[in-house]
């Protein structure tokens, strides 16, 4: 048996998963690491925390798997996207902490871009809606605030990278300064039509080209793991952003296939094949992956609050003790008795895009209690997801027939059944829900010939449970209309303070 080790460098933890030729997770290990919040709205990671927590997870996972290191065919890397690092080429020393994707410090930079009317240009070239999430303004901030950084960058003394790139540089003997097309597509500096760094955007953001990494395929041997790490030289054979990895791990290889990850937030990606679809609904156009020089694209929509709404029921309202308990409480009543919860705690995302939206509970009557509110909160996750799915169908011109799911809240059978009902399509949960690690492992395995093609991988994917729609069409239409009315009530709330 041969294995691939996937490194899944996430926002709160670094994880390593050992995956065998059959696509089974044999062993894994996770290390949490420190989040730094130097000011309200600012989020930073120490780059060495990222590296060492990941290195530790790798070593322990391999130990737990009790396998011979010579049977490890490749290492794959998947990562939190958009987090921005800049380090010294000679010493490897970071010039400052990593600015995490969540960090809002560059919101004023983005406002300025919008005032200058650059939104459309950026959207056309990068597929992104200008936002502080992406790397470009974070890099600008570093150049504006770290003394000497710009001069040193222009002299070629510094290197920029996202987390995949930072890990590859530190883990490989060659000190490979590389990223893949998915990670590059989240920088707001990469042209997804030409598939290269965009000269006009580099000028606009005043970024010297010499600091940028080489952009590789997502499945590609980028270097060799330093032999002192596992006692052997092992190819590092994939770099890929986490959501893209999950789409690959879910075997969504055909245009029109969609996966939804129900984590703290919700992430939907639709494969649109080799066609780049522009969105009219505020979805992002992104690179799904690039393999053998061939790019496939995806539409992406996020939901700010998914599983977080269940945490709110538990931690703020105290209505449930555990997230899992929400299922039995929801099922203890026949319906939500007309109650709708809109969990717009941080505004409304696609397709509403209303940063002044705030949470609301509407439709309360004297008989509505704990169970109805718990049920309505779970239902809200399904309604929000359905809104994004409909936007994707509209933007892509593809009518969906089913959706693949993963993430913590996909364990909730009530939620999955209600999702199938409201979408009027099958919702399918795979046996292996570690799809992010699986996707990185699959890409790495393809690069070294452990697997031959997507067809072989698609055959490894197995459904654990399929939820089929059972709700009457009339009922579905009525509830969806009620949800829209509830959203209207919550919209713009904070604007009228």
Q: Which residues bind ligand ADP (CB under 6 A)?
A: 263-264, 307-308, 310-311, 323-324, 326-327, 407-409, 411-412
Output the smallest distance, CB 117 to ligand ADP, in A: 35
- d(Cα 281, Cα 464) in Å, to the nearest integer? 33
Output the smallest distance, CB 121 to ligand ADP, in A: 33
296 strand-pairing partners: 289
Counting every residue written for the chain, the total comes to 497
- d(Cα 393, Cα 400) in Å, to the nearest integer? 7
- d(Cα 349, Cα 351) in Å, to the nearest integer? 6
Q: What are the distances in angstroms from CA 221 to CA 78, 79, 239, 295?
A: 14, 17, 9, 17
Beta carbons of 87 and 94 less than 8 angstroms apart: yes
Smaller CB separation from ligand ADP, 161 or 263: 263
Question: Which residues 6+ apart lie within 8 Å of 14 measured at CB?
Answer: 7, 8, 30, 31, 33, 50, 53, 54, 56, 57
Output the smallest distance, CB 411 to ligand ADP, in A: 4
DSSP state letters, 175-193:
---EEEHHHHTTTTSEETT
Output the smallest distance, CB 414 to ligand ADP, in A: 8
Beta carbons of 142 and 84 less than 8 angstroms apart: yes
Smaller CB separation from ligand ADP, 13 or 402: 13
Smaller CB separation from ligand ADP, 12 or 145: 12
Output the smallest distance, CB 261 to ligand ADP, in A: 7
Beta carbons of 78 and 236 less than 8 angstroms apart: no
- d(Cα 163, Cα 241) in Å, to the nearest integer? 9
Closest chain position to ligand ADP (CB)? 408
Output the smallest distance, CB 190 to ligand ADP, in A: 25
Smaller CB separation from ligand ADP, 34 or 63: 34
Smaller CB separation from ligand ADP, 44 or 379: 379
Buried b (16+ CB within 10 A) or exposed e, 292-304: eeebbbbbbbbbb
403 strand-pairing partners: 427
Beta carbons of 98 and 186 less than 8 angstroms apart: no
Please state the φ and ψ torsions of residue 180, each to the nearest 5 degrees: -110, 170
Smaller CB separation from ligand ADP, 270 or 409: 409
Smaller CB separation from ligand ADP, 359 or 492: 359
Beta carbons of 33 and 24 less than 8 angstroms apart: no
Smaller CB separation from ligand ADP, 118 or 411: 411
Output the smallest distance, CB 296 to ligand ADP, in A: 24
Beta carbons of 284 and 128 less than 8 angstroms apart: yes
Cis omega before residue 367 (within 30°)?
A: no
Smaller CB separation from ligand ADP, 279 or 385: 385
Smaller CB separation from ligand ADP, 286 or 326: 326
Output the smallest distance, CB 339 to ligand ADP, in A: 18
Output the smallest distance, CB 324 to ligand ADP, in A: 4
Output the smallest distance, CB 344 to ligand ADP, in A: 16
């Amino acid at each position: 048996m041969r294995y691939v080790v996937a490194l899944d460098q996430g926002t709160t933890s670094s994880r390593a998963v050992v995956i065998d030729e059959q696509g089974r997770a044999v062993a894994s290990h996770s290390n949490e690491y420190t989040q730094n919040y130097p000011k309200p709205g600012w989020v930073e990671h120490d780059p060495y925390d990222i590296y060492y927590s990941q290195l530790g997870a790798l070593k322990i996972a391999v130990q737990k798997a009790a396998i011979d290191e010579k049977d490890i065919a490749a290492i794959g890397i998947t990562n939190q996207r958009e987090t921005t690092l800049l380090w010294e080429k000679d010493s490897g020393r970071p010039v400052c902490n990593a600015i995490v994707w969540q960090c809002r410090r560059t919101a004023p930079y983005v406002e300025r871009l919008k005032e200058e009317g650059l939104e459309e240009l950026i959207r056309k070239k990068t597929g992104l809606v200008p936002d502080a999430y992406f790397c470009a303004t974070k890099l600008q901030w570093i150049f504006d605030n770290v003394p000497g950084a710009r001069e040193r960058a222009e002299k070629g003394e510094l290197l920029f990278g996202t987390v995949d790139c930072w890990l590859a540089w530190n883990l490989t003997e060659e000190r490979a300064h590389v990223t893949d097309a998915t990670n590059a597509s989240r920088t707001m500096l990469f042209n997804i039509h030409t598939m290269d760094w965009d000269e006009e955007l580099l000028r606009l953001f005043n970024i010297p080209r010499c600091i940028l990494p080489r952009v590789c395929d997502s499945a590609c041997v980028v270097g060799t793991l330093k032999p002192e790490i596992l006692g052997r030289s092992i190819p590092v054979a994939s770099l890929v952003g986490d959501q893209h990895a999950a789409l690959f791990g879910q075997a969504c290889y055909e245009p029109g296939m969609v996966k939804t990850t129900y984590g703290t937030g919700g992430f939907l990606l639709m494969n649109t094949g080799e066609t780049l679809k522009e969105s009219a609904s505020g979805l992002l156009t992104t690179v799904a992956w690039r393999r053998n020089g061939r790019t496939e694209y995806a539409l992406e929509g996020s939901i700010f609050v998914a599983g977080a709404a269940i945490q709110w029921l538990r931690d703020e309202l105290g209505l449930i003790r555990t997230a899992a308990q929400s299922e039995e409480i929801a099922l203890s009543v026949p319906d939500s008795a007309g109650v709708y919860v809109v969990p717009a705690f941080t505004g409304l995302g696609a397709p509403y895009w209303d940063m002044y939206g705030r949470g609301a509970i509407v439709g309360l009557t004297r008989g509505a209690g704990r169970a109805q509110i718990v049920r309505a909160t779970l239902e809200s996750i399904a309604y929000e997801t359905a809104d994004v799915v409909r936007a994707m169908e509209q933007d892509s011109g593809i009518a969906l027939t089913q959706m693949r799911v993963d993430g913590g809240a996909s364990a909730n059978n009530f939620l999955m059944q209600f999702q199938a009902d409201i979408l009027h399509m099958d919702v399918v949960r795979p046996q292996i829900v570690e799809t992010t690690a699986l996707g990185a492992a699959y890409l790495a395995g393809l690069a070294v010939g452990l697997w031959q093609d997507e067809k072989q991988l698609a055959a490894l994917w197995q459904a654990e449970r399929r939820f089929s729609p059972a709700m009457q069409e009339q009922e579905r239409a009525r509830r969806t209309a009620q949800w829209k009315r509830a959203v209207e009530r919550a919209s713009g709330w904070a604007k009228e303070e």
